[in-house]
Amino acid sequence: MLSIDPNDISTVKLQEYLQSAIAPRPIAFASTLDALGNPNLSPFSFFNVFSANPPILIFSPARRVRGNTTKHTLENAKATKEVVINVVNYDIVHQMSLASSEYPEGVNEFLKAGFTMLPSEKIKPFRVGESPIQFECKVKEIVELGTEGGAGNLIICEVVKLHIKKEYLDEDGTINQYKLDLVARAGGSLYSRAREGFFEIPKPLSTLGIGVDAIPSEIRNSSILTGNDLGMLANLEAIPSEADVDKFAKEHIEYVGINTVKKHTFAKALLEKNEVLSAWKVLLMKRA
């Protein structure tokens, strides 16, 4: 294993490691105005949601490593205390990338990248008309993390209005993640397209799962079942009863009499289909 003291490598190299290891990261496509009212638009991947009550988003325009200068977005947020954070999906990712270019101060990235300047309702900066979801925000606080190149500046924003295009909603009003088709940032020039990699992990029970330590040792020490497999098995509230296992065996004679390796192999296949209860019953079946 490569072990590194951050003080022993350059900031550029450290940034490469951090951005590649902590990924994918959501993108805050931030729209601001300068003190003279000139629009600015720039993406930032040091970003996330941190509270629902109050609704708080935080993104961080870091100081440039080369030159130790600050971004126009940071300067504008300090001056006006307002920002729109626009969500980036696959349909606008190339335009978003173009807007990240280091245009001179006063240049309108909306125009350069071909975006529609949509008026906000509660603040002055414009929304990106092509963005599927837009958050109008007031800047509550800016926390400067350092004064050298690469230092972040946490812009803590409170959402005062959000706008969601209806075509991304299901009938019950929830956001459809597949329709939304979000993109995220990785290391170097790489991005990640969320809907091509979705998989579901059921949330832990409101009661308590049995835990990996309660799984019988023959199963827990399996050479076939992985840690993820054991985690799925351990999220059940109770191990199936002997009567339930016997009933299952009568209905699935193909599993009767198989050896441990085959039992664990069959169970793993069932877990891959999220059939956790059936996997447990296969594992607990007795040899003939």
Q: Is the pLDDT of residue 205 over 60?
A: no
What type of residue is 75?
A: E
Residue 6, C-beta contacts closer than 8 angstroms, at least 6 positions apart: 14
Picking from 39-43, 79-83, 158-162, 253-257, which range would have the lowest pLDDT averaged per residue?
253-257
Give me the percent of the chain exceeding a pLDDT of 90: 62
Contacts of 23 (CB under 8 A, 6+ apart): 184, 185, 186, 187, 190, 192
Across 1-7, average pLDDT: 91
Q: Which residue matches tokens 């023959």? A: 218
Count of Cβ atoms closer than 10 Å to residue 146 Cβ: 11
Q: Phi first, then psi: give them for residue 49, nearest 5 degrees.
A: -100, 140
In 10 A of CB 33, how many CB atoms? 20
pTM for the model:
0.80
Which domains does the chain show, CATH number per domain? 6-197 (2.30.110.10), 212-284 (no CATH)
Question: pLDDT value at position 221?
Answer: 93
Q: What is the pLDDT of residue 204?
A: 64
Residue 135's pLDDT is 98
pLDDT in tens, 268-277: 999 999 899 9
State yes or no: pLDDT of 129 exceeds 80: yes
Closest alpha carbon to 140 in 58, 50, 261? 58
Q: What was the pLDDT predicted at 65? A: 81
What confidence category does residue 288 fall into, taking pLDDT thresholds of 50, 70 and 90? very low
Average pLDDT, stretch 62-81?
Answer: 90
Q: Which pLDDT value is given to residue 116?
A: 93
Decide if 161 contacts 57 (C-beta within 8 A): no
6-35 mean pLDDT: 92
pLDDT in tens, 102-126: 888 888 999 989 999 999 999 999 9
Q: Give the chain's end-to-end CA distance (angstroms, integer).
A: 46
pLDDT of residue 179: 95
So what's the pLDDT on residue 206? 59
d(CA 32, CA 34): 7
| pLDDT score for 251 | 86
Distance CA 28, CA 40 (A): 13
The structure tokens listed for 243 are 């009567």
Average pLDDT, the chain: 90
Residue carrying the six token digits 């529609």? 116
Would you say residue 101 has pLDDT above 60? Answer: yes
Average pLDDT (25-30) is 96
